[in-house]
Structure 1
Amino acid sequence: MRFKNKLSLLLGIAAFSTAACATDGYRDMKFGTSTAAVLAQANCTMEEPEEAPVGKMYSCEDFTFADKKTEATLFFVNDKFIRIAIAIPDEDVVKTLEILKKKYGVAAHSSQKEMQDVDLYPNKTAFINFDNNHISLLMTSNEDAQSSATLIYSAENILEIQKSRSAVTGDDL
């Protein structure tokens, strides 16, 4: 599954602002909600959970986005929902970008050259962040220079949650 190969990159995008954000989750899945409740709301066929540097992650390949089935990964720390990453079908990237820009405005982004490089070269990454950096559209290219996009929603207090897990478990994040 190509989406799972990006998890280290997804997990590395944790430098989010602590300013107030408008986003408190994705759809009806609210950040801070229990694992069981969010998995029921995700309405897709979850694979067995995997341990991740930030806690546990659950993945499915039949998550509904823009009336299409796609891959999604949900992240939990201490039984609390903290992040969702959704593979955006190629034909929906531009529309998704426009909707996000209109709803939240752009908070930060990669340079134009970095964005162009994703389409031209292998192993490149570019991003556009929204809502005080709590929503990211991540564009990547793999070793064959095939590009893809991932939409990531993260909890406002994700760094605090990760630090509290580290303090409890002794893990270095």
Structure 2
Amino acid sequence: MKKSFPLLASALLILTCNGAQAASGFRDMDFGSSPDVIKQHAHCTMTGPVKVEIGEMYQCADFPFESGVTHAEFFFAGNQFIRLGIRVPVDNTAETINSLAKKYGLVSAPGEDQITAVRTTPGQSVMFTFGDGNIALYFASDSQGSTSTVLLFSSPDAKALQDAHADDL
């Protein structure tokens, strides 16, 4: 079932780019921390690690976010925390965009026609970026047309750490 997102268009109209602000992590989970430190601060049941293209990934199905729990993935390269992916409830997409824009500043956003394409055409995706570009929100539809929203916080050093530890994989 496709959902309408009139708030998404409204959110884009009222957002202005504030001064760019970098994210040094998420809550009390700092980029560069070890998996053991992140496990202590994630406040969820972490499983893993699993080897992935960028290093190692741990997962939580019960990560506290907004007013509930959701799925989150924690990525590490060279035993250092480099990225956090959080599944955002689709109904909260516009609210999440507003919150991120207020805190970090909206850097780039897709046009309304691109957002509509995600809602109406399977296999489409758009990306919003915030702050220094290391915070991104992906809104996508799968091959059956179901939509999802994923929020990514990435370390400014993520690419360099991935490259430095590529031989470890």
Q: Given the two structures, how large is their TM-score scaled by the length of structure 1? A: 0.82
- Take 2:105 and 2:129, find their aligned partners in 1: how far apart are those partners? 9
Please list every run of 5 or more consecutive structure 1 residues that lacks an aligned counterpart in the other structure: 1-19
- Take 1:42 and 1:154, find their aligned partners in 2: how far apart are those partners? 16
Alignment of 1:129 with 2:129, yes or no, is yes
SS for the counterpart of 2:165 is helix
- Take 2:168 and 2:24, find their aligned partners in 1: how far apart are those partners? 28
Residue equivalent to 2:78:
78
What is the aligned length? 150
CA-CA distance at 1:72 after TM superposition: 0.3
Please list every run of 5 or more consecutive structure 2 residues that lacks an aligned counterpart in the other structure: 1-19
Contact 1:66 1:92 in 2 (8 A): no
CA RMSD, Structure 1 to Structure 2 (Å): 1.5
Residue equivalent to 1:9:
none
Q: Larger C-alpha radius of gyration, 1 or 2?
A: 2
- Take 2:97 and 2:21, find their aligned partners in 1: how far apart are those partners? 18
Contact 1:77 1:165 in 2 (8 A): yes
Change (3 A) 1:170 1:78: closer
In structure 1, what residue type is equivalent to 2:164?
S
Residue equivalent to 1:11:
none
Percent of paired sites with the same residue: 31
Mean Cα displacement is larger for which, 146-155 or 96-105?
A: 96-105
Residues 79-110 of structure 1: CA deviation (Å, up to 9, x unaligned):
10000000001232111110111112111233
- Take 1:108 and 1:79, find their aligned partners in 2: how far apart are those partners? 31
- Take 1:40 and 1:92, find their aligned partners in 2: how far apart are those partners? 27
The 4+ residue runs of structure 1 with deviation greater than 6 A are none
Contact 2:140 2:148 in 1 (8 A): yes
SS for the counterpart of 2:108 is strand
- Take 1:111 and 1:157, find their aligned partners in 2: how far apart are those partners? 29
Contact 1:63 1:71 in 2 (8 A): yes
- Take 2:119 and 2:90, find their aligned partners in 1: how far apart are those partners? 12
Q: Given the two structures, how large is their TM-score scaled by the length of structure 2? A: 0.84
